Amino acid sequence: MRRRDVLKSAVAGSIALTAPNVVRAQGTAGASSLLKFVPQADLASLDPMWTTADITRNHSLAVFDTLFGIDAKFVARPQMLAGSTTSADGKTWDLTLRDGLTFHDGTPVLARDAVASIKRFCVRDPLGSALAARMDDISAPTDKTIQIKLKTPFALLPDALGAYACAIMPERLAKTPATDQVMEMVGSGPFRFKAAERVPGSLVVYEKFAGYKPRTDGMPSFTAGPKIVNFDRVEWRMLPDPATAAAALANGEVDWWENPTLDLIPSLRRNKDLVIRVTDSTGEIGCLRFNHLYPPFDNPAIRRAVLQACDQVDFMQAVSGAEPSLIKTPVGIFVPGTTYANDAGMDAVKKPVDVETAKKNLAAAGYKGERIVLLAATSFPTINQIALVAGDLLKRIGMNVDYQSMDWPTVVQRRASMEPIDKGGWNIFFTFLGGPGNISPASHIAIRGTGKAAWPGWPTNAKMESLRDAWFAAPDLAAQQALTKEMQGLFFQDPPYVPLGMYDQPTAYRNSLTDVRDGYPQFYGVKKV
């Protein structure tokens, strides 16, 4: 049964309407010095180490800086660093901070701040934990020098220190346990976070940090190179209704809509004042995430039965049927056509089973009618759509679904709970996986098998961890590709989540904006003409 007709947005023709109740610019900033941005969701968490939510990533890129930046070809470049040296055996790295780096509270950025920030990053981040496993010592011999001593060479060290989650903050904040949120936003990035102006569900404000000194060399690319700020103020306007957001963009009430609803893309393309383009080449892979701590999804056979019942085409048509060119299926754990994409185990998603067979598979796997608490984010259109399709499917194959609708920030909070469902826990949530993890196992959070130290869902899979370790140690690309093929085969036997297909998400902005960077939304470099 196709769900596209049921889920199609009814607002595609409404973008010519005047946008009501759009939050007006605050303060005295003129139009040319104010950037008005509609984010994909409200900003529920401020700490990039506490959550992997994309909205927090975007916030982090504005407020914090990183030791390395990552360019559009995913090559690490010095960012907060003047340079680095590596010993002949590859085991000692000396990193030198640039002159003039200052935190938003006026204090200088010192090596000990970076050391504390790196230590915190290494606790939870997938690539950070790989670095930590190979790190013998990290210290600050001088105020400008960070020294890292490794047990074995680790060529991906710059990539790890260029991850947005490796946000450099003052030592006093970086000493906050990685399991606790940092609530005071003091970075050294190009923008200050204006906490006093934050209106939950409505407005988030950033202002240009006058003390920020961009690099004087390199090419602006993704998070690397000079970060030149051309706006005094950036306002994030929360407009959860797609028709309102589309009208606001069309009428110039806002400048940029991060993730326009895909049903509206054809209409938006007809507006000569708008630019519609895909800036993020890593795409969005749909994810039905299981909680492995409690029945029934502590049983891999039941997880496999659900995976085999899911039709990726159904899910992606629900999301992007209006723009089918954006869809990619079938999809495993990596973006099709990229270095590590392979065909291992793909029959599981190429030929979904029919409903009656799925019912039999589920019963044979041991499902006993347990209540399934499913978290559905109604404020996030693409996530809401895949949740609706999944909720209907799971009921039809015989699962006892408790479908709980809530906004996305609440899902982010709820999914962190390890409690059983009768104490506020959950069995399934939905999201989209994006970024470097979609093209490399180094940063892929959703395949990790480290139990309660893993991403919410908390799978335990020692074999997957062993294969990942071997991937880091592999002597060449051919060996790495062989290992990622083995990883994907294991994934489909013991699935930590269900991949629901992939689409490329366009962004939309007024053609008065120029120099919008490829990659995630970033507010430096952008100009208004």
| Residues 419-448: tens digit of each pLDDT | 999 999 999 999 999 988 999 999 999 999
Cβ-count burial of 273 within 10 angstroms (0-12 exposed, 13-18 middle, 19+ buried)? exposed
Residue 293: which of 418, 447, 195, 467 has the closest Cα? 418
**Percent of the chain's residues with pLDDT above 90:** 86
Strand partners, 199: 203
The one-character DSSP state at 24 is: P
What is the chain's alpha carbon radius of gyration, rounded to the nearest angstrom?
A: 23
- How much is the pLDDT for 338? 93
Neighbouring residues of 155: CB distance < 8 A, sequence distance ≥ 6: 90
The pLDDT confidence band at residue 3, using thresholds 50, 70 and 90, is: very low
Enumerate residues 6+ apart whose C-beta is below 8 A from 292.
298, 457, 458, 459, 460, 496
pLDDT in tens, 329-349: 999 999 999 999 999 999 999
Q: Mind listing the pLDDT tens digit for each residue in 107-134?
A: 999 999 999 999 999 998 989 999 999 9
Looking at the predicted structure, is the pLDDT value of residue 1 above 60? no
pLDDT (average), residues 363-369? 97
Q: What was the pLDDT predicted at 12?
A: 39
Range from 2-16, 119-133, 200-214, 310-324 carrying the lowest mean pLDDT: 2-16
Looking only at the bridges linking them, the beta strands covering 256-257 and 34-38 are: parallel
For the residues of 324-390, what is the DSSP string, one character each?
GGGEE-S--SS-TTSTT---TTTHHHHSPPPHHHHHHHHHHHT----EEEEEEETTSHHHHHHHHHH
**Which tokens hold the place of 283?**
């795409």
pLDDT at 8 over 60: no
DSSP string covering 106-165: SPBP-HHHHHHHHHHHHHH-HHHHHHHHHEEEEE-SSSSEEEEEESS--TTHHHHHTSTT
Beta bridge partners of 145: 96
Mean pLDDT of 361-382: 95
Q: Give Cα 150 to chain centroid, integer Å.
A: 29
> What is residue 408's three-state secondary structure?
helix
Per-residue pLDDT tens for 151-189?
999 999 999 999 999 999 999 999 999 889 999 999 999
Cα–Cα distance, 4 to 85 (Å, whole number): 55
Q: What is the pLDDT of residue 185?
A: 97
Mean per-residue pLDDT, 484-491? 98
Is beta strand 284-290 parallel, antiparallel or unpaired with respect to 497-503? antiparallel
Q: Report the DSSP beta bridge partners of residue 487.
A: none
State how far the alpha carbon of 107 is from the alpha carbons of 68, 97, 110, 170, in Å.
21, 15, 9, 9
For residue 488, pLDDT over 80 is answered with yes
How far is CA 227 from each of CA 340, 369, 517, rounded to the nearest angstrom?
Answer: 31, 54, 11
Assigned token pair, 65 = 């800086």
- Bridge partners of 274, per DSSP, are 510
In this predicted model, what pLDDT tens digit does every residue of 197-247 receive, in sequence order?
999 999 999 999 999 999 999 999 999 999 999 999 999 999 989 999 999
Residue in the block written with tokens 């001593």: 149
Q: What is the reported pLDDT for 31?
A: 58
**In a 3-state reduction of DSSP, which class is residue 161?**
helix
- H/E element holding 133? helix 126-134
Name which of 390, 411, 412 is nearest 401 in CA terms: 390
- The residue written with tokens 């006026």 in the block is 106
First to last CA, the chain: 48
Write out the H or E segment, with its range, that includes residue 312. Answer: helix 312-320
For residue 236, give the 3-state DSSP assignment: strand
Q: What pLDDT band is residue 30 in, cutting at 50, 70 and 90?
A: low
